[in-house]
């Protein structure tokens, strides 16, 4: 009988051990799961990289030398352009929600709208033929190089090609899907 009683105590002890282990595991999963989801979030549904089609207010073949035309990323669904290069606050792979097609010295180029200082949106200054930042006064030449600081480096480029007609361009970007 003493052996059976001892066996019963061991079984009870084991049961309590398993119960405690289960409780600790459940607690750890409950605490850790949200942290892991925060650190490694699942990609948003429908997110897809690829060329984004943009319609220009001024077709490329009507753009005068020294002129620029602004465009925005499509919003239905929400999308963004992907910078091809960068420095300062910008970097290759960063997102831009607008840009400029600019004609300078007969050459057409496409620049991201983000100031390389702290990322404000630059505006085209037609009279001065420059891109000016309203935040801290940086100014850029038409080719994106710095005309006046505090911006330390040029504007970023966007990778693009002409679409089916002069009013349309295809710009590398991503459909954000929200």
Nearer to ligand FES, 80 or 135 (CB): 135
Stretch that binds ligand FES, among 9-17, 54-62, 73-81, 130-138 (CB under 6 A): 130-138
Residues present in the chain in total: 178
Alpha-carbon distance values, 4 to 9, 11, 115 (Å): 9, 10, 80
Strand-pair partners of 79: 175
**What span, in angstroms and rounded, lies between the C-alpha atoms of 85 and 167?**
25
Contacting range for ligand FES; rule: CB under 6 A; set: 14-22, 35-43, 64-72, 110-118: 110-118
- Cα(126)–Cα(135) distance, integer angstroms: 18
Number of neighbouring beta carbons within 10 Å of residue 114 = 26
Shortest Cβ distance from residue 163 to ligand FES (Å)? 30
Among the listed residues 117, 131, 155, 160, the single contact to ligand FES using CB under 6 A: 117
Q: How far is the CB of 153 from ligand FES (least distance, A)?
A: 12
Q: From CA 60, how far away is CA 11, in angstroms rounded?
A: 83
Enumerate residues 148-167 that contact ligand FES by CB under 6 A: 150-151
Nearest to 61 by CA among 142, 167, 171: 167
73 vs 151, beta carbon nearer ligand FES: 151
- Determine the Cα–Cα distance for residues 161 and 112; give it in Å rounded to an integer: 15
Interaction between residue 102 and ligand FES (CB under 6 A) = no
Which range, of 4-12, 59-67, 131-139, 158-166, touches ligand FES by CB under 6 A? Answer: 131-139
Contact positions vs ligand FES (CB under 6 A): 115, 117-120, 133, 135-138, 150-151
């Amino acid at each position: 009988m003493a052996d059976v009683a001892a066996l019963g105590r061991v079984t009870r002890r084991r049961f309590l051990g398993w119960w405690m282990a289960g409780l600790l595991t459940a607690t750890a999963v409950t605490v850790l799961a949200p942290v892991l989801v925060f650190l490694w979030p699942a990609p948003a549904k429908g997110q897809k990289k690829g060329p984004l089609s943009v319609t220009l207010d001024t077709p490329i073949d009507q753009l005068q030398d020294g002129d620029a035309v602004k465009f925005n990323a499509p919003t239905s669904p929400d999308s963004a352009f992907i910078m091809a290069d960068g420095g300062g606050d910008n970097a290759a792979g960063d997102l831009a929600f607008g840009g400029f097609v600019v004609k300078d010295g007969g050459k057409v180029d496409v620049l991201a709208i983000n100031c390389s200082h702290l990322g404000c949106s630059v505006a085209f200054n037609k009279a001065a033929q420059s891109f000016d930042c309203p935040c801290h006064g940086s100014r850029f030449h038409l080719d994106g190089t710095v005309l006046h600081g505090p911006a330390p480096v040029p504007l970023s480029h966007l990778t693009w090609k002409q679409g089916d007609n002069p009013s349309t361009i295809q710009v590398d970007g991503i459909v954000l899907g929200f």
